[in-house]
Amino acid sequence: MSATPAVALDEAAEATHRLETAEHVTVTPLGNALGAEIGGLDLARPFTPAELEAVRAAIQDHHLLCFRDQHLGSDEQVAFSTQLGPLEVFPEQDKTKGESTVYNVANVSPEGEHLPVDDHRVIYQKVNARWHTDSSYRYIPSFVSIMYAIRVLPDGASGGETEYSNMLAAYDALPDEMKARIEPLHMVHYYEFGRRLFPELPPVSHHEKVHVPPTCHPLVRIHPDRGCRRSLFFTTNAGNEVSGMTMEDGVALHRKLASHVSRPEFCYKHRWRPNDLVLWDNRVLMHRAKGYDMARYPRVFRRTTVAGSEPILGPYSQAVEGKVRPLTAA
Ligand code: OGA
Ligand code: MN
């Protein structure tokens, strides 16, 4: 009789402790460039305030988080994702299943059919093979994307990874003259660019046209949450034009930047295991899907996206006037 209250007291003390700290959450870096594996959390259960704080801090420090062995249905993924903020509604009505905040990143239909390589839903996946940051074609691009692995390539099959590149590090490593050159530039981002890459896709719908018209973002992004540090911010799957430059000069500059961000020292390549949940910070990373034999291997992910909260700021944005350090002379 005496043991029971003691145990109950210990449990209560532990529960209180968990509310205040998240010491059970482990953070193990995945490489030198970016990324960490997070242990100690079951994402099917809501976070405690301390856990949410720990996850937010890990996003800020590592930019990509991988949670292994998670078991999430669609509703649970939406509930988990919403803890980080309101979700984006995808403009592609035909690519979503059920609620439009959930997106099938798959070469398999919602009904389970392994789709032929010329199916539009498979061609959409190929657009992801180019370096990009999700929903940069929006005036307010996304905060984080969340992908949950349902079917992945078997061990030994080549490709199928997702590769990420750190835009803070890539910017820092640019030669001074390139930093000076791109400082005032903007790029046009537009959803319809995927049709230029793959003209066999059907034209964009009226719904897509009115929800995501072309927009412009600075090439150099300022991060007020990081002491107004600079990063690169661009895309190669939603545009290749630099505002105010001739097509030829702009495309040449764009190519140079795309090749720069591919340098291995900025990159981490994620080889997926089933039940991995990976989230990444689109504010500071680019990513691309590595090619694989789409006719042979089914590959199925479920994606949700947490919306961004403000337009992209550049070095000349009024909102950061006087707060951005001048560039050192080249
Ligand atoms: C995406 C994406 C990468 C992949 O869904 O936005 O880029 O590896 N996916 O499928
Ligand atoms: Mn993407």
Output the pLDDT for position 109.
93
What pLDDT was estimated at residue 8? 47
Burial classification of residue 319, based on how many CB atoms lie within 10 Å of its CB (0-12 exposed, 13-18 middle, 19 or more buried) = exposed
In a mutational test of the pocket of ligand 1, which residue from 162, 236, 290 has the highest number of ligand atoms less than 8 Å from its CB? Answer: 162
Cα separation, 22 vs 33, whole angstroms: 25
Distance 11 CA to ligand 2 centre (A): 43
pTM confidence score: 0.92
Note the pLDDT of residue 93.
61
What's the CA-to-centroid distance between 288 and ligand 1, angstroms? 6
Q: Which two tokens stand for residue 279?
A: 């989230």
Under 8 Å CB-to-CB from 186, ≥6 apart: which residues? Answer: 216, 217, 218, 219, 242, 243, 244, 314
Domain enclosing residue 216, as ranges: 23-320
Q: What is the model's pLDDT at position 6?
A: 44
The CA 10 to ligand 2 mean position distance, Å, reads 46
Tell whether 36 is covered by a domain: yes
In the reported structure, the alpha carbon of residue 301 is separated from the centroid of ligand 1 by a whole-number distance in angstroms of 9
Q: How far apart are CA 99 and CA 108, in angstroms?
A: 18
In a domain, 222, yes or no: yes
Task: Indicate whether 96 belongs to any domain.
Answer: yes
- Tell the burial category of 181 from Cβ atoms under 10 Å away from its Cβ (0-12, 13-18, 19+): middle
- pLDDT for 90: 80
Q: How far is CA 96 from CA 8, 80, 142, 150, 279, in A?
A: 47, 18, 17, 16, 19
Give the chain's domain count. Answer: 1
Closest CA to 274 of 294, 300, 305: 300
Instruction: Identify whether 12 is part of a domain.
Output: no
Which amino acid, one-letter code, is at 327?
L
Q: In 140-201, where do the E strands start and end?
A: 144-151, 162-166, 186-189
Q: Where are the alpha helices (DSSP H) in 138-246?
A: 167-172, 176-182, 193-197, 206-211
CB 107 within 8 A of CB 294: yes
Q: Which atom of ligand 1 is nearest to the CA of 299?
A: 10
Q: DSSP string of 94-119?
A: GGB-SSTT-EEEESB-TTS-B--TTS
Residues with CB under 6 A from ligand 1: 105, 128, 134, 162, 287, 289, 303
Assess if residue 165 is contained within a domain.
yes
CATH of the domain at 239: 3.60.130.10
Ligand 2 ion local residues (Cβ < 5 A): 134
pLDDT of 10 reads 54
The series of mean pLDDT values per 10 residues for the chain, 330 residues long, is 43 50 93 97 97 98 98 97 95 59 93 95 94 97 98 97 98 98 98 94 89 95 98 97 96 98 98 98 98 98 97 97 85
Assigned domain for 18 exists: no
Count CB-CB contacts under 10 A for residue 276. Answer: 20
**Residue at 9 is within a domain:** no
Residue 212 lies in a domain: yes
The protein residue whose alpha carbon is closest to atom 3 in ligand 1 is: 289
What is 205-233 written as a DSSP string?
PHHHHHHS--EEEESEEEEGGGTTEEEE-
Residues 6+ apart with CB under 8 A from 51: 22, 25, 41
Phi-psi region of 65 (alpha: psi -120 to 50; beta: other; left: phi over 0): beta
